[in-house]
Amino acid sequence: MADDGDFVLLGKVTRAHGIRGEIRIHPYSGEPENFRNYRTLYLSLEGSSGRRPFVSERARVQGRQALVRLKGCTSRDQAELLVGCEVWLRSEDLPTLDEDEYYLHEMQGRRAVTRQGDEIGVVTGIMATGAHEILVVRHGTREHLIPLVAEFLVRIEKERVVLDLPPGLLEING
């Protein structure tokens, strides 16, 4: 998920589904069931800042994708027009988390440091893979790709992500 302040990028419309206007969405979080919790989604053409609101009438899961029925989208032809659109949610519409939980997009912009306090860089992005997320950490001209796994993550603080990395990890991918 990417974050531009007021909105969080959830995924992308990959194709129309069926003849009644459903769309198939690839969720960047890897959790299509989350779409059941979202009432208003915002769609935009990739790279565009203009977002159009749609009320989600129904969402269901099929494999790793979400099938969503949007109010006013009642035919396959209408759904086809949405293919390729990015799917956004207002940040304020994200479900409230428990104190020990966090959203991945909230880590962007925070400093990444080792348990000993050594600076690794700034988290500039998060990549989703099949196995786990990867933190993209930039330090000057170097970029580190760090697996975001429980064994490496010590804690997330207001301004820092504290990591305990195995020896040599930064050298092999930086």
Residue 174 has pLDDT above 70, yes or no: no
Give the tens place of pLDDT for each residue, 115-147.
898 999 999 888 767 677 888 999 989 999 998
Residue 164 tokens read as 């305990």
Range among 14-18, 94-98, 134-138 rated most confident: 14-18
Query: Which has more confidence, 1 or 155?
Result: 155
Mean pLDDT, the chain, rounded, equals 87
Q: How far is CA 26 from CA 54, 63, 108, in A?
A: 17, 10, 22
Residue 93 has pLDDT above 60, yes or no: yes
pTM greater than 0.95: no
Delineate the domains of the chain, giving CATH numbers in brackets.
2-92 (2.40.30.60), 104-173 (2.30.30.240)
Instruction: Write the CB contacts of 16 (distance below 8 Å, at least 6 apart in sequence).
Output: 22, 23, 24, 76, 79, 80, 82, 83
Q: How far is CA 115 from CA 119, 126, 144, 154, 156, in A?
A: 10, 20, 17, 7, 11
Report the pLDDT value the prediction gives residue 3, as an integer from 0 to 100.
47
Distance in angstroms (rounded) separating the CA atoms of residues 161 and 61:
32
Give the tens place of pLDDT for each residue, 42-73.
999 876 778 999 999 999 999 999 999 999 99
Task: List the one residue out of 77, 28, 75, 35 whose CA is nearest residue 55.
Answer: 35
Report the pLDDT value the prediction gives residue 85, as an integer from 0 to 100.
95
Confidence of residue 164 (pLDDT cuts 50, 70, 90): very high
